[in-house]
Amino acid sequence: MTMHTPSSGASVADGAGRGPASERPRILIVDDEPTYREYLERFLSRDGLEVRTAETGAEAIALSRDFAPDLLLADWMLRCEMHGIEVGEALRNRWPGLRILLMTGFPTADLEAEAARVGIDGFLEKPFALDDLSRAITAALAGRGAGGGTAGPATAARAEDPAR
């Protein structure tokens, strides 16, 4: 299933539904393919997002402790101890407002059912266009995905802590 969302014409970094424009949305990318991971990081960074990357689920979980992402962009089939949905579940336990987008080259009805159970905000079927990625992130951050809510953990943390 390819993610289709309405185009608003706004940049992802506009932070739909967020506080001051100086607060860039935080994106955590988890993909075990280094070239793909770096490509996505460069694109999203140029689009004004604050981006961190991880190769494994365990690395993503450790990184999230200090980074507090607003959105997780995870490959479903990671070649490690856990797959993307499991990473999303673990991070959402810590950050209930986390938005989650899954990337997959192998969409199936079973995957969609499991993702719906967990509250995944959307899918991107590989290969996908960068414009589709931007639209999916914008929609998820605006709370138009399946997971509900309007703000991610980094937004909530900044709202609670004026020093941030």
Q: Which residue has the higher pLDDT, 138 or 156?
A: 138
- Over 50: is that where the pLDDT of 4 sits? no
Residue at 119 is within a domain: yes
Residue at 30 is within a domain: yes
- Over 80: is that where the pLDDT of 150 sits? no
| Contacts with 97 (C-beta within 8 Å, 6 or more apart), sequence order | 149, 151, 152, 153, 155, 156
Residue at 15 is within a domain: no
pTM exceeds cut of 0.85: no
CATH code at 111?
3.40.50.2300
For residue 77, what are the domain limits? 24-160
Residue at 156 is within a domain: yes
Query: Residues 10-44: pLDDT tens digits?
Result: 445 544 433 344 489 999 999 999 999 999 999 99
Listed residue (122, 41, 140) closest to 84, CA to CA: 122
Residue at 110 is within a domain: yes
**Most trustworthy range by pLDDT among 31-40, 106-115, 153-162:** 31-40
Residue at 146 is within a domain: yes
Residue at 6 is within a domain: no
Query: Residues 46-105: pLDDT tens digits?
Result: 999 999 999 999 999 999 999 999 999 999 999 888 999 999 999 999 999 999 999 999
What local confidence, expressed as pLDDT, does residue 81 receive?
85
- Over 80: is that where the pLDDT of 119 sits? yes
Residue at 7 is within a domain: no
Domain count across the chain: 1
Q: Dihedral of CA 138/103/74/47: which sign?
A: negative
What local confidence, expressed as pLDDT, does residue 6 receive?
29
Q: Dihedral of CA 76/77/80/85: which sign?
A: positive
